[in-house]
Amino acid sequence: MGISQNSKSQREQQGQLPYRFCVIMSDEDILDCIFNPSLAGFGAQQQRLTAPVPIPGFDDSTKQRYAEFQAQSICAGESGDTDKALQLINEAIQLCSQHPAGYNNRATIYQMRKERDLALDDLNQAITLGESYNDHNTLKQAYLQRGMLFKIKGDDDLARADFEKAASFGSKFAKDQAIQLNPYAALCNQALEKAMCELQKPS
């Protein structure tokens, strides 16, 4: 049954989406609806991002010094000097202990040093502070990092929950990880592989 032009225009006048946008979904969107209802829609559901809350004492002068410590820490870490990287990021955190990014970055260093329990503690702190100050970028990175930690530990349910949170802040990689950990998607892959094998058998 067709949809009349009058019906379409009435929908648009009422502030609803034009009909063509209500019915067209990509293959990826359809699979998301089936296997990942928490991530379904036009790509991953995005958080309704609220404005960042100012961090007390984080003025322009402090912000510049904080950024310098973080940049130097990253350079040290990339060169393999994790002791120096840790020292510098500690100075950044001491300068502004309420900023969540420092804890997320220190967690990265702890992971490089295989000190995963310390990394987990810092990621928990980064997420707590990130939620307090609406630091969406840090939340995306911290949830992704913590999800990877849980995955390494074999805690797939916790890992998937964190990947879904990171995906809601815009991480495509986290969305892919969440899909891989979905048991329904795994069953579907097994069924597809079995069907392909049957098709390839000589008749």
CB 129 within 8 Å of CB 103: yes
Q: Which of 96, 125, 99, 97 has the alpha carbon at shortest distance from 110?
A: 125
**pTM for this prediction:** 0.70
Residue given tokens 């809601």 in the structure block: 168
Structure confidence by residue, pLDDT tens digits, 76-129: 999 999 999 999 999 999 999 999 999 999 999 999 999 999 999 999 999 999
Structure confidence by residue, pLDDT tens digits, 42-88: 344 455 668 889 999 999 999 999 999 999 999 999 999 999 999 99
Measured in degrees and rounded to the nearest 5, phi and psi for residue 110 equal -60, -35
| Mean per-residue pLDDT, 175-183 | 86
| Mean per-residue pLDDT, 31-44 | 44
Task: Classify residue 1 by its DSSP letter.
Answer: -
Residue 114 to residues 149, 163, 184: CA-CA distances in angstroms?
11, 21, 32
| Mean per-residue pLDDT, 186-196 | 59
Residue 33 scores a pLDDT above 50: no
